Amino acid sequence: MAFAESIRGVVINVIDGDTVILLEKTPEQMRTHRIRLEGIDAPERGQDGYEGAKKYLEKLIWGETVTVRYTENDRYGRILGEIWHGKMFVNEEMVKEGWAWIYKNFWNLYT
């Protein structure tokens, strides 16, 4: 997958198992971005596994500096991206550990 953009920042909030808030600091300003982990889905509030998925993602990256590679935003204005923490591909890690599943259209990203 070819990425047009990349941002780096600190994860300041984990909304659920597939959405986080990132604080990007540039010399000019600080901005927050809502990031949706592209290609995966995790349980929503009220569904079995919601708390576990959220807590696992928090354990992985809350307060950590990450890189987000992306090409587009979704219809809600969130950045759809791959999150990398060092060499760890966070999207894939959530699937490998059973806290999320792969969207059919993205199966080739994780094989």
Please state whether beta strands 30-37 and 79-85 pair in parallel, antiparallel, or not at all (unpaired): parallel
Measured CA distances, 55 to 18, 38, 42, 68, 94 (Å): 11, 19, 12, 20, 11
> 78 catalytic, yes or no?
yes
> 45 catalytic, yes or no?
no
Which of 36, 38, 82, 93 is catalytic? The answer is 36
Is the separation of the CB atoms in 84 and 24 below 8 Å? no
> 36 catalytic, yes or no?
yes
- Say how far apart CA 79 and CA 82 lie, in whole Å: 10
Which of 38, 78, 82, 93 is catalytic? The answer is 78
Token pair listed for 55:
């807590």
Which of 8, 31, 44, 51 is catalytic? The answer is 44
Catalytic residues: 36, 44, 78
